[in-house]
Structure 1
Amino acid sequence: MLQVNDFLLRLSLCRGIGLVSKYRLWECAQQARCFNNIDYLIDHANVSLRSASSLKNNWTSPELDQAVALNSQEKFITIADPLYPITLKETYCPPLVLFYRGNLSLLHQPSIGVVGTRQITNYGQSALRGLLPPVIKRQIVVISGLAQGVDGFSHELALKHGGLTIGVIGTGLDQAYPRNHQVLQDEVARQGLVISEYGRGESPVAYHFPERNRIKR
């Protein structure tokens, strides 16, 4: 019988299933304590025909087996883990799995989310230089998306002032977007935390970024 975390890792990596359907499948499995009967979940989880078909066709596929084996090498927590942040669990369709590199305890500290334009202006830089250092000094974690512009500058300020920072990315942990932020991403992981709901090899496709925004807040 699959353990809960094994089930959640497999479900999170199963292709062709949307966020809503994945969460419904998890809720159904949790309520019924059924983590190995896919036919039962398809019949009772109220998922779309497309998601049901993808689950049935992919659950035991070699491709999914390979993805699970590959991503098992990363550190991760699941929504069933006591370390999973309560506030994140209460968001819309929370991620079932969070892959991470760095200090996981930062998820449980006071934080502020910083989002903004990819084309940061001189005024924007000046504003952040005035706003963030007092926040950083109080040991409030700066959360942003490691993207170009405001995001990257916010992480840089946090690191420069010896602060705490979390990067929420829209790719697998083995990639960086933009590519020229690889050094910055590595430094955030070393001094802070980098998290993602996407497995290894997942590229920066457009829909990942609005999805990941629910985690940054």
Structure 2
Amino acid sequence: MQLRSLLIRLHLAHGIGYAGMVRVLQHCRQVQTVVTDPRRLGKLAHLTASQQGRFTADWQSMAFQQRLKRHAQLDILTILDDDYPPALLEAYQPPLVLFLRGQRALLTTRQLAVVGARQATSYAERVTTQLLAPLATAKLTIVSGLAKGADGFAHRTALHFNLPTIGVIGTGLDISYPRQHRDLQQQISQVG
């Protein structure tokens, strides 16, 4: 098994957490061996006995195998991949695994992040349009969180002016939050 595959499996397993995944990743890189035994993984991750039991049971379960199978069809980006966005590496806890839908190549383009209030006013909508309209010829990708308010304005404006856009969401790809952005999320996944 490759280290990338192990990282994806750890991400999908219950009970290991971010810090545990980082410990396992660091160990495997240091010794240049991919550990696959769930008990050894739990020890490397510094899991408590109860966490170890939960992790091992899940790792060996049929439900885990089904999760792996469901996620095998998705485009998955890991911190180990060459096209992992360098800007994300500057985050306090950069995401180790990201699930993508759409045009992965947009991750390497010049980007402008747009953030703002969730309870944004019509003024915010006007200003967003005024700020983004001149960028239509700038070959710039608009990035926002697909949240209610200013984020939604940014994505809609980008789509209106045929600017590529990336929606960064904290839920799964199968969940639209807020619900009123379901169509917007779908649209972005097709062209962004």
Give the distance between the partners of 2:153 and 2:50, measured in 1 at CA.
41
Q: Do structure 1's residue 4 and structure 2's residue 9 form an aligned pair?
A: no
Structure 1 residue 20 and structure 2 residue 37: aligned?
Answer: no
**Could you tell me how far 1:38 is from its partner in structure 2?**
3.3
| Number of residues of Structure 1 aligned to a counterpart in Structure 2 | 191
Cα distance in 2 between the residues matched to 1:150 and 1:175: 20
Q: Name the counterpart of 2:133.
A: 133
- Aligned equivalents of 2:26 and 2:102: distance in 1? 29
Deviation, 1:46, is: 4.2
CA gap of 1:26–1:90, structure 2 versus 1, over 3 A, is farther
Return the offset for 1:23.
2.2
Aligned to 1:145: 145
Q: Higher relative CO (CA 8 A, sep ≥ 6), structure 1 or 2?
A: 1
SS of the aligned residue for 1:99 comes to strand
What secondary structure is seen at the aligned counterpart in 2 of 1:184?
Answer: helix
Q: TM-score, normalised by structure 2?
A: 0.88
Distance in 1 (CA, whole Å) between partners of 2:48 and 2:164 is 41
d(CA) in 1 for partners of 2:93, 2:76: 18
Shift of 1:107: 0.7
Percent of aligned pairs with the same residue? 38
1:20–1:93 CA contact under 8 A, matched in 2: no
SS of the residue corresponding to residue 9 of structure 1 reads helix
What is the deviation of 1:49? 5.9
127-136 or 148-157: bigger deviation: 127-136
TM-score (norm 1): 0.78
Aligned residue number for residue 182 of structure 2: 182
**Given residue 147 of structure 1, which amino acid in structure 2 is its aligned partner?**
A
Flag the 1:51–1:88 CA change in 2: closer, same or farther, 3 A. farther
Q: Which has the larger radius of gyration?
A: 2
Give the root-mean-square deviation of aligned CA atoms. Answer: 2.1
